[in-house]
Structure 1
């Protein structure tokens, strides 16, 4: 191997080993590969010329490179000499991997360059100017397995992959495709069509063979409907986030909507042939989702799940539904699979969740539950206590209280206005941010070994005794905006991350100095300084510290220099740190001129200016008073001396 990257070369070096198998010439200034450029290296298997200025490869450059398997020509200017370069590429009978990305190639140029490359298995054409693909685009690439076409301007695909029967991975992301209809690539394993303008994804329903597709990414498009998937497939991962998907099963109710049609027709916009008629709320359109393990529907407009939809996914492990329009969830009727591992329903409109003991017990593998940013006020009384594998729960920004243990034990209600975690020994992370909590019962966390507890944004929360049971296990504690004052953190020896932001603190709690903290959030308090001794102690331990939003004294910023000198401490948003001088003028701490302050005792020179002005004003005042006091006597004497002289007569 020879590494000649960033060497300012304008040609291929000729003094390397004759038996060289790999040559890297990235980030140089080579413009042309001449016929004799690599003639000395017949054993070459890998050649990389990425990020040069290559405009063409002369036609006989590879005449003796019969062993070359991988050629990287990314980020060059092959659009200038693509015709001659195509002749050179045809002399590579063993070429398996070719990177032509970022070369300003249009459709015709790419087709010309790829002619007769029958051995090619991996092709990268990303970042070019391709617009329309047809049956001639890749017709000679019969062995192609992986094709990257992302970041072009493709808006139409017309039978472009009909000759690529071995193609398994296809990347069409970041293009301009309006739809993908008549999808029939049964051999494909991975299809990434994210970040397009796709409104419809429709598979061929008349194909009897099983599609091998395992991963389908249609995120960041304009899908209106759940994709019409193959009727037989091995689909495991389906990514549909950031679309406008809804379900329309309710429109099939003739009693409520007697005048609505239940079918829709899709036309081939080219010649209006091969029309497809679909019944939008027909369950069969969801296709075969029996193998699905990940369903990502984040940021859509889903209001409900169609009847039986969840039951069609017996292998589902992760359901991501944050930022949708769900108003209710019935765990009993939906019958989630025992394989469910992650359930994210955050930022919806949930007002209630229904569940019975059987449905909760069935979710024995559920580990992560996120119900934050909903409108929950009541929950099933045993919602969490029956989930035996639960490790992380997020109930932030709901109006849910914590049950007193006696209330939880004596309650017979199926729905309760509070939550309880009794006997959930597996629980590690609990987020109760912004839940309007006022007091946490003393035994709320008894029997738990939480590592993360987030209680921020609960103003006036009383927590002093309630979290003592977690002193050995707790690693992250969030108490921001809780109005805490002199809280004793010394028992929490395992604490690594602490947030006490937005609490109007005017000094740093001394109990923090004995902890081995790595992250400390002190934003939006009333700190005027951090004592040098405290700063020195913290600088030896902290990795990240948040300090913005405090009215620091510009003449007491030794802590800033201490943290800045300690290369292991990251002052997050350091450039936004501000301080005030004696005249209450704000400055950026890192730009404040230290000569304006005396170094001893941190006193500002402005104090001396004010002291001088005060003394001067006092002296002037005394002088005026003395002048006014003796004014009459002085005036009388002056008149007498000048005007009352004796006359000559």
Structure 2
């Protein structure tokens, strides 16, 4: 779930408590570790709160213990206590007078306990905290009634976390007394209905309702709210109260991972900066208003019983007013929807748009000129659509001078507007992977624009740093393709038969990440690539590694699915001393030549990914895990002849003996004649 810069208190208070002072119980005469005015008693197997010999302790940590009950006298020796954490215990109740001597307590963390058992007495105890500002009741199996009782009269509370409970329905009594509440975290419950639950919380600015079961949000009128996260629900409609004349303060609205059919009905007056709508089923339906093509279609949608204060709502599905005020919008995320086109004026109404994410939609064409993209646009992602063409004139391309990231991968593009990339003066990352676009040759670029070539050119774009050309059916890259570039990332994988040696030399000084997987490359000189940190050589049928690799300063090397049987010990030592991560699965290694692997294995800082899946073959071509290769019989070269003699002599003798037995068994007369001839000769007496 994206958080988009929201303070940690929004997500849940418990992680903040755990990270703050995550130490174990010290083995001293006292069960706690003292530091200034803080006592840390985590992981001490305590069943009770230890008595303090200091009255100035302000923070007490009791996480991960076995405390079941906070007794009336448990905190009497902590009169100055301001922060108390008893998370991850077995707490079932807090006796009603426990906090009588803790009037200064402001922060209380009770996450991951069993307060659902003794919630009534615990509620009485909490009411005696006049200054409580931060309360974490997450993961306590609390239902609506329990939570409502625990929160009674907590008028000073500002931050509340109730995540991970079993709240189902919120109404006007749920948070009635929390007049100072600013942050409320209700994620990961089973909430399916909200009925005036926040009408008493005029100070509420941040609300997290993610991972619940809300079917819709209608009559949204919380003008004071700044952040709203309702992602991962089942929302089909988001409708704000349109007749309100007040300006909404909402800056971030997260509706991702829902079931939205239409673009949300945003406030008519607002200050929305970030709108996240990814992974819904949003589409635009202006074409349905064409009564000629669709004579039986309707142009309006009517909502009945939206709320008890207003009449039914009727909306024009393709009216520009439907979108509300998006004039301040900077980030729009529409990934994973069903958008086939932008309505007229849709992009124009967002003059400050800086990031537009449209991957995994159904766009067939993109007209940068007619859409009138703002000059503030810096990120444009239209990957994984159905684009076959992109239209843009020179003035439009000039206006996109602030664009730094441009992703067109996974489309059906065969050509791009002439000079598209060379006109983008600030472009840093371009991804046109899995398209059928060719790289321009020198004479193509020098042609007049009257004969526009179906190729791309990015030479002399000094700002470009990352270029992704995976799966573009490239066979050869011109030697001048990267002239005057300072690329740090170049991805050329999935281009079988690609010839690159001459074109890459101009990048040897700056290139850090190089992808050459599945290119059928066999040998390449990496001697000059002193900045190279990541190299992908997977799926290339390599029988040996290029010797020049040991002269590089690689940190990550991908050698999966090749034909490597071993590595020279010198090369292995040179690589192992520098590498941090190596991928080796899918190679037919020789179990009797694993000295290189023992070298890799002894380097503690080297991560051999999926070590258990790396296999080798023994003398009989039986596959084993390379980790166990030392347990198999392996012979040196000088012992090979003796090995075969020892192997075949017993076999030969056995076969000879069997032959003799068979012969004598089936031809006994031959034996008799032989004996008579030799031993029964006539003698003279």
CA distance in 2 between partners of 1:426 and 1:240 (Å): 31
Give the stretch that moved more between structures: 541-550 or 413-422. 413-422
1:594 equivalent among 616, 619, 630:
630
Establish whether residue 312 from structure 1 lines up as the match of residue 312 from structure 2.
no
CA distance in 1 between partners of 2:46 and 2:637 (Å): 59
CA distance in 2 between partners of 1:345 and 1:223 (Å): 20
Paired position in structure 1 for 2:234: 197
Paired position in structure 2 for 1:617: 651
Paired position in structure 2 for 1:425: 462
Paired position in structure 1 for 2:209: 172
Tell me if the contact between 1:350 and 1:375 (Cα under 8 Å) persists in the aligned partners: yes
Alignment of 1:214-363 (within 5 A): 214-268=251-305, 274-363=311-400
CA RMSD in angstroms comes to 2.4
SS of equivalent residue, structure 2 residue 348 = helix
Q: Any stretches of 5+ residues in structure 1 without a counterpart?
A: none
Distance of aligned partners of 1:12 and 1:319 in 2 relative to their CA distance in 1, 3 Å threshold: same
Give the stretch that moved more between structures: 375-384 or 529-538. 529-538
2:530 equivalent among 493, 497, 507:
493
Kindly provide the CA deviation profile for residues 364-404 of structure 1, in whole angstroms up to 9, marking residues without a partner as x.
00000010100000110111000000100001100011000
CA distance in 1 between partners of 2:655 and 2:282 (Å): 80
CA distance in 2 between partners of 1:447 and 1:328 (Å): 32
Q: Which stretches of structure 1, 4 residues or longer, exceed 6 Å deviation after superposition?
A: 269-273, 601-604, 621-635
CA distance in 2 between partners of 1:335 and 1:105 (Å): 51
2:406 equivalent among 361, 369, 376:
369
Kindly provide the CA deviation profile for residues 337-361 of structure 1, in whole angstroms up to 9, marking residues without a partner as x.
1110101111111001000000000
TM-score by structure 2 length?
Answer: 0.90
Paired position in structure 2 for 1:37: 74
Paired position in structure 2 for 1:567: 604
Kindly provide the CA deviation profile for residues 289-337 of structure 1, in whole angstroms up to 9, marking residues without a partner as x.
1111110111111111111100011111111111111110000001111
Kindly provide the CA deviation profile for residues 33-83 of structure 1, in whole angstroms up to 9, marking residues without a partner as x.
000100111110000001111111101111121110000000000001111
CA distance in 1 between partners of 2:662 and 2:203 (Å): 109
Tell me if the contact between 2:306 and 2:313 (Cα under 8 Å) persists in the aligned partners: no
CA distance in 1 between partners of 2:639 and 2:160 (Å): 68
SS of equivalent residue, structure 1 residue 466 = helix
Establish whether residue 465 from structure 1 lines up as the match of residue 502 from structure 2.
yes
Give the stretch that moved more between structures: 298-307 or 528-537. 528-537
Q: CA deviation at 1:593?
A: 4.9
Paired position in structure 1 for 2:481: 444
Paired position in structure 1 for 2:16: none
SS of equivalent residue, structure 1 residue 467 = helix
Tell me if the contact between 2:616 and 2:629 (Cα under 8 Å) persists in the aligned partners: no
Give the stretch that moved more between structures: 569-578 or 415-424. 415-424
Establish whether residue 206 from structure 1 lines up as the match of residue 243 from structure 2.
yes
Kindly provide the CA deviation profile for residues 198-225 of structure 1, in whole angstroms up to 9, marking residues without a partner as x.
0000000011111000000000101111
Q: CA deviation at 1:256?
A: 2.0
Q: CA deviation at 1:611?
A: 4.5
Kindly provide the CA deviation profile for residues 476-532 of structure 1, in whole angstroms up to 9, marking residues without a partner as x.
111111111121111211111111111111011100000011111111110001222
CA distance in 2 between partners of 1:92 and 1:47 (Å): 12
Kindly provide the CA deviation profile for residues 253-305 of structure 1, in whole angstroms up to 9, marking residues without a partner as x.
22222221111111238889732111111110101111111101111111111
Distance of aligned partners of 1:85 and 1:5 in 2 relative to their CA distance in 1, 3 Å threshold: same
1:60 equivalent among 71, 78, 97:
97
Tell me if the contact between 2:162 and 2:187 (Cα under 8 Å) persists in the aligned partners: yes
Alignment of 1:113-192 (within 5 A): 113-192=150-229
Alignment of 1:483-522 (within 5 A): 483-522=520-559
Tell me if the contact between 1:506 and 1:528 (Cα under 8 Å) persists in the aligned partners: yes
Kindly provide the CA deviation profile for residues 219-243 of structure 1, in whole angstroms up to 9, marking residues without a partner as x.
0101111111001111111111111
Tell me if the contact between 1:127 and 1:152 (Cα under 8 Å) persists in the aligned partners: yes
Distance of aligned partners of 1:601 and 1:233 in 2 relative to their CA distance in 1, 3 Å threshold: farther
Tell me if the contact between 2:168 and 2:190 (Cα under 8 Å) persists in the aligned partners: yes
Alignment of 1:369-448 (within 5 A): 369-413=406-450, 415-448=452-485
SS of equivalent residue, structure 1 residue 465 = helix
CA distance in 2 between partners of 1:634 and 1:448 (Å): 93
Distance of aligned partners of 1:251 and 1:566 in 2 relative to their CA distance in 1, 3 Å threshold: same
CA distance in 1 between partners of 2:313 and 2:122 (Å): 43
1:549 equivalent among 586, 595, 599:
586
Q: Any stretches of 5+ residues in structure 2 without a counterpart?
A: 1-37
Distance of aligned partners of 1:392 and 1:627 in 2 relative to their CA distance in 1, 3 Å threshold: same
1:99 equivalent among 133, 136, 147:
136
SS of equivalent residue, structure 1 residue 416 = coil
Give the stretch that moved more between structures: 522-531 or 619-628. 619-628
TM-score by structure 1 length?
Answer: 0.95
Distance of aligned partners of 1:167 and 1:310 in 2 relative to their CA distance in 1, 3 Å threshold: same
Tell me if the contact between 2:85 and 2:110 (Cα under 8 Å) persists in the aligned partners: yes
Q: CA deviation at 1:598?
A: 3.8
SS of equivalent residue, structure 1 residue 513 = helix
How many residues align? The count is: 645
SS of equivalent residue, structure 1 residue 285 = helix
Give the stretch that moved more between structures: 627-636 or 372-381. 627-636
